[in-house]
Amino acid sequence: MSATLIDGKAFAATVREKVAAHVARLKSDHGITPGLAVVLVGEDPASQVYVRSKGRQTVEAGMNSYEHKLDAGTSEADLLGLIDRLNNDPDVHGILVQLPLPKHLDEGLVTNAIDPAKDVDGFHISNVGLLGTGQKSMVPCTPLGCLMMLRAHHGDLSGMEAVVIGRSNIVGKPMAQLLLGDSCTVTIAHSRTRDLPGVVRRADIVVAAVGRPQMVQGDWIRPGATVIDVGINRIDAPEKGVNEDGSVRTRLVGDCDFESCAAVAGAITPVPGGVGPMTIACLLANTVTACCRAAGLPEPEGLTA
Ligand SMILES: Nc1nc2c(c(=O)[nH]1)N[C@@H](CN(C=O)c1ccc(C(=O)N[C@@H](CCC(=O)O)C(=O)O)cc1)CN2
């Protein structure tokens, strides 16, 4: 491997320190404690882990955490009722509904019921529109984390050629908007893009968010390019043996084939320990930002787009 490793875990720790310092000042100078409400519907095991982590890190940063765990069969009306109460609760500055939701609940409807000013996920259609038109908005956590790492690694991004692989509303599209906002030349590529390797080979910055394990190969990468791997895919790892119940052990991989990409890239994020930890750090950052905006106070520097 010749690439520099961009350590998302370490970077996320520095973001959390900045958040905690800002929270301490909000408390001492203004008597305000930011509050984050996280809503989990059902018992998806991965979501339970993420929600626990969010609650723990919120408290560690000195903020108030309000966890709402609802039964998998919760009706849309009851969920919308809870969101309405949280929208009107002055102690709650950020609201997040953990995704995915059980099939009978409409994610779009639920997301758009959150007060845009408290939408720390940045998924509300108003925030999508504000970001798309270059205005102040709440920015989705994963792309915000990628942008922070890119800025820290490169400084000024202007004029750089960026290829975002993946066109999802929660990563690909907002990522492209953020890179455009930093004056990159941006291409959004996807599974139907003609000559995808050729398109990716043009890039100084590659953001892989396509959801296909190890799809991006080293010979797609321009020598020296920076590779940000957003994918978190669990694959079988027979080389690790079997579990007690006889099932094959698994491991996490990104959307990039790490070994071959790291041999060519100038810098790369690992999976795990890259973009993932930044997602929760940026959620905390967004909660402080939402709190400052609500109180009419200056926003924390370096924690927003
Ligand atoms: N409302 C939301 N739902 C979901 C989001 C989101 O941003 N908002 N993102 C994902 C899940 N997610 C946070 O919610 C998340 C995913 C992964 C990680 C992370 O740190 N991953 C580790 C590996 C963890 C493991 O071992 O399994 C890593 O990449 O190093 C944090 C947060 C979907 N839902």
Q: Which is the closest atom of ligand 1 to the Cα of 271?
A: 29
CB 127 within 8 A of CB 112: no
Residue pointed to by tokens 């982590």:
53
Cα 262 from Cα 217, distance rounded (Å): 10
Backbone angles phi, psi at 251, to 5 degrees: -145, 160
pLDDT (0 to 100) of residue 156: 98
pLDDT tens digits along 61-84: 999 999 999 999 999 999 999 999
* DSSP string for residues in 197-254: HHHHTT-SEEEE-S--TT-B-GGGSPTT-EEEE---EEEE-GGG-B-TTSPBPEEEE-
| Cα three-residue angle 274-277-283, rounded to 5 degrees | 135
Cα 74 from Cα 98, distance rounded (Å): 14
Residue nearest to atom 19 of ligand 1 (CA): 276
CB 221 within 8 A of CB 261: yes
CB 249 within 8 A of CB 240: yes
Q: Which of 18, 57, 98, 182 is catalytic?
A: 98
Pair type for strands 64-70 and 161-165: unpaired
Residues of the chain with confidence (pLDDT) below 70: none
Kindly report the number of other CB atoms within 10 A of residue 179's CB atom.
Answer: 25
Kindly report the pTM of this predicted structure.
0.98
Q: Which is the closest atom of ligand 1 to the Cα of 273?
A: 30
Q: Which of 18, 57, 121, 204 is catalytic?
A: 121
Catalytic residue flag (residue 54): yes
Kindly report the number of other CB atoms within 10 A of residue 201's CB atom.
Answer: 16
Domains annotated for the chain, with CATH where assigned, are 30-115 (3.40.50.10860), 141-278 (3.40.50.720)
pLDDT (0 to 100) of residue 197: 98
Q: Residues enclosing ligand 1, CB less than 6 A?
A: 50, 96-99, 121, 141-142, 232, 252, 271-273, 276-277, 279-280
Q: How many residues are recorded in the chain?
A: 305
ipTM for this prediction = 0.98
pLDDT (0 to 100) of residue 144: 98
> Of 296, 275, 289, 271, which Cα lies nearest the Cα of 18?
289
Ligand 1 mean position to 66 CA, how many Å? Answer: 19
Beta bridge partners of 40: 69
Catalytic residue flag (residue 121): yes
> Of 83, 127, 138, which Cα lies nearest the Cα of 105?
83
CA dihedral over 203, 207, 213, 218, signed as positive or negative: positive
141-154 vs 8-30: helix axis angle to the nearest 10? 110
Q: Going by C-beta distance under 8 Å and a sequence separation of 6 or more, which residues neighbour residue 134?
A: 181
pLDDT (0 to 100) of residue 1: 75
Residue 133 DSSP symbol:
T
pLDDT (0 to 100) of residue 297: 98
Q: Going by C-beta distance under 8 Å and a sequence separation of 6 or more, which residues neighbour residue 295?
A: 26, 30, 32
Catalytic residue flag (residue 98): yes
